[in-house]
Amino acid sequence: MNTILPIYYQVKQAIKNWIINKEFSLGEKIPSENELAEKFNVSRLTIRQAIAQLIQEGFLQSRRGEGTFVTENENLINRFNLETMGFMDDLFYQQISKIKIKSVVINRVVPPKLIKEKLELNNEEKEVVQIKRVRILKEKLFTYTINYLPLAIGARITEKDLYERPLLQILEQDMGIRFTEAVQKIEASFADKEVAEKLEIASGSPILFVERIMYTQKHNPVEVFQSSYRGDLYNFTVRFKNVRSKEGSKWIHRSE
């Protein structure tokens, strides 16, 4: 398994792909926790965490005394296939195992007005933690990222942590924050003076700008993520496949 991504997440994605690719039929019982733990060579606790998230997302259903079953909601699976299969996951994690950290700077700052609004801070919350990172892909400067976190959360993160693991993994695994929703904006843009200096490119060079707000189960915003990717290095390949069923044909995609 990938040592960068959380193990439960990798297990969850594997099971979800089985469901989406129709390796399990609608309403079919999936293997037991013990069988899955043996198959993936992980603990039952990890399996339980993966299954719990799939139940919450609607892909699995638990029946007391009987086991866990694939949803019978075919529309959910087809809609997921057509619109989002792998897309959000790849935007979160694409190439993450190949990226190395060049520099990390953590500061307490007074947040810009828009950041304060996006984190839904009250008037008493005067400061946030700002994390700035420059990351390398294939020995080339690749992305400049700025994260904003509420002070109570961000103050628990160290530079050492961020050199070793992705921030999202730290928030989920170490702090027990359960993310259930994200709002993400992607746009073509140009490098301003700060971005150009950090990525060692000319000011005005093309970049891909990504902003994401991460929410917990109670719809509380926990993180604002802003990242500028070098336009000459970033690529996102999507492979499409036409799948036919009794309802007709549907296009699904897998990102690479």
**How much is the pLDDT for 164?**
87
Say how many C-beta atoms besides its own lie within 10 A of residue 203's C-beta: 12
> What secondary structure does DSSP assign to the chain, as a single string?
--SSS-HHHHHHHHHHHHHHTTSS-TTPBPPPHHHHHHHHT--HHHHHHHHHHHHHHTSEEEETTTEEEE-S-HHHHHHHHHHTTTHHHHHHHTTGGGEEEEEEEEEEEPPPHHHHHHTT--TT---EEEEEEEEEETTEEEEEEEEEEEHHHHTT--HHHHHHS-HHHIIIIIT---EEEEEEEEEEEE--HHHHHHHT--TT-EEEEEEEEEEETT--EEEEEEEEEETTT----EEEEEEEETTEEEEEEEE-
**How much is the pLDDT for 245?**
62
**How much is the pLDDT for 113?**
93
**CA pair distance 232, 196, nearest whole angstrom:** 13
Structurally, at CATH architecture level, domain 95-230 sits in 3-Layer(aba) Sandwich (3.40)
Show Cβ contacts of residue 53 under 8 Å, excluding neighbours closer than 6 positions: 8, 12
Q: Do 225 and 211 form a contact (C-beta atoms < 8 A)? A: yes
Distance (Å) of CA 119 to CA 116, 125, 147: 5, 10, 11
Say how many C-beta atoms besides its own lie within 10 A of residue 193's C-beta: 9
Looking at domain 7-82, its CATH class is mainly alpha
Look at the alpha carbons of 76, 82, 88, 90 in this order and tell me if their dihedral is positive or negative.
positive
List per-block mean pLDDT (blocks of 10 residues) for the chain, which spans 256 residues. 65 85 87 92 92 91 92 75 44 58 96 94 93 89 94 95 88 87 88 94 92 87 93 68 64 52
**How much is the pLDDT for 85?**
42
**How much is the pLDDT for 255?**
47
Q: Do 8 and 49 form a contact (C-beta atoms < 8 A)? A: yes
Q: Fold match between 7-82 and 95-230?
A: no
**How much is the pLDDT for 89?**
46
Predicted structure pTM score: 0.63
**How much is the pLDDT for 162?**
92
**How much is the pLDDT for 3?**
47
**CA pair distance 224, 255, nearest whole angstrom:** 24
- The C-alpha angle with vertex 53 and arms to 39 and 245, in degrees rounded to 5, equals 75
